[in-house]
Structure 1
Amino acid sequence: MFLTRPSIIRGITAFTNQVSARALHSTQIAMAPIKVGDKLPVADLFEDSPANKVNICELTAGKKVVLFAVPGAFTPGCSKTHLPGYVQNADKLKSEGVGEIVCVSVNDPYVMAAWGAQHNTKGKIRMLADPNGAFIKALDLGTNLPPLGGFRSKRFSMVINDSKVEELNVEPDGTGLSCSLADKIKIKK
């Protein structure tokens, strides 16, 4: 009977909120969006299946990499313009010293593999999945897009040199198609 008293319930609620806040506070890191000159956060992405982890820092260590991110595989802008532009420009970018071209999306690895197969990315672009958005969250380049299922990546591109961001192009509205396109990438010699 005494457990139903409002003062005890308020006390239990306050205690629970404090414990929850402390637990969240100790596990979350406040970050500003990644910027030119920053090192990439350590994160595992997935290629083709959940069994094939790709650590982004290991992948970019000691070489120049172009990474671009899209809000979703198989979406119109991503499928008609963004990904095809990188497929068409892959040889040009690689001739300018790019060791890898990577496409990232908050999707599962099977979806990314199927999307890559549809666009003939094999040998040109590595299609990496960020299933729970951990990498995109660590970059602080995510956005909420309810029509696409909620949390997604903003549309952006970056040039990475030895795991450090050398160039970063984030679409002003997070989803448009302008500064993050393949023909806008500038590779420094």
Structure 2
Amino acid sequence: MIKVGDAIPDVTVKHLGANGLEDVSTGELFAGGKVALFGLPGAYTPTCSAKHLPGFVAQYDALKAKGVDKIVCLSVNDAFVMKAWAESQAAEGKVETLADGLAAFTKALGLEADLSVAGLGVRCRRFALIADKGVVTWIAVEEAPGAFEVSSAEAVLAQL
């Protein structure tokens, strides 16, 4: 599992932007400044939709005021689902959503969870991290499935 001091792995993920489906290099995305990244099991799932993403939308101004250049949400979903979810959550323009459809970035981070027993396949564990110029400076991973205690926007703010 990725830890403080590690470089963010360079993996290509997807984003549905103004020009359609785009490749995003995580190495490039994280290289330029301070990024708050949070990962979650899936768009439209209960805790993710009721608490995790909305918390980062609500704390957007506070995070920016503390020096965060980008707020990024990662999930093992496709780019079309991530865009629709961001729109439904009023997150566009505040939180960049990354679609890790094959869980390649999630696995490179060492944060995958096999939720096949629930019919969900390989997903991302719930976590949050801060990276500065591509290097992890803080990370918190929820230990129990369904937990939402250490990866909130407020937890990130407390570390800035």
**TM-score normalised by length of structure 2:** 0.93
Kindly indicate whether the alpha-carbon contact (under 8 Å) linking 1:96 and 1:187 is maintained by their aligned counterparts in 2: no
Paired AA for residue 97 in structure 1:
G
User: Are 1:56 and 2:41 counterparts?
Assistant: no
| Separation (CA, whole Å) in 2 of partners of 1:67 and 1:56 | 11
Equivalent of 2:77 in 84, 90, 107: 107
Paired AA for residue 13 in structure 2:
L
* Stretches (4+) displaced over 6 A: none
> SS in structure 2 opposite 1:51?
strand
Q: Cα distance, 1:120 vs. partner?
A: 0.7
Q: Cα distance, 1:179 vs. partner?
A: 0.1
Structure 1 residues not aligned, in runs of 5+ = 1-32
Paired AA for residue 86 in structure 1:
F
RMSD across aligned positions (CA): 1.3
Compare relative contact order (CA 8 Å, sep 6+) and give the higher one, 1 or 2: 2
Paired AA for residue 14 in structure 2:
F
How many equivalent residue pairs? 156
> SS in structure 1 opposite 2:108?
helix
Structure 2 residues not aligned, in runs of 5+ = none
1:138 aligned residue: 108
Q: Cα distance, 1:148 vs. partner?
A: 4.7
Whose Rg is larger? 1
Identify, as 1 or 2, the structure richer in helix: 1
| Separation (CA, whole Å) in 2 of partners of 1:96 and 1:140 | 28
Q: Which moved more, 1:41-50 or 1:70-79?
A: 41-50
> SS in structure 1 opposite 2:21?
coil
Matched-pair identity in %: 41
**TM-score normalised by length of structure 1:** 0.79
Structure 1 segment 85-100 matched on structure 2, within 5 A: 85-100=55-70
Equivalent of 2:43 in 73, 77, 82: 73
Q: Cα distance, 1:174 vs. partner?
A: 4.5
Q: Cα distance, 1:187 vs. partner?
A: 4.2
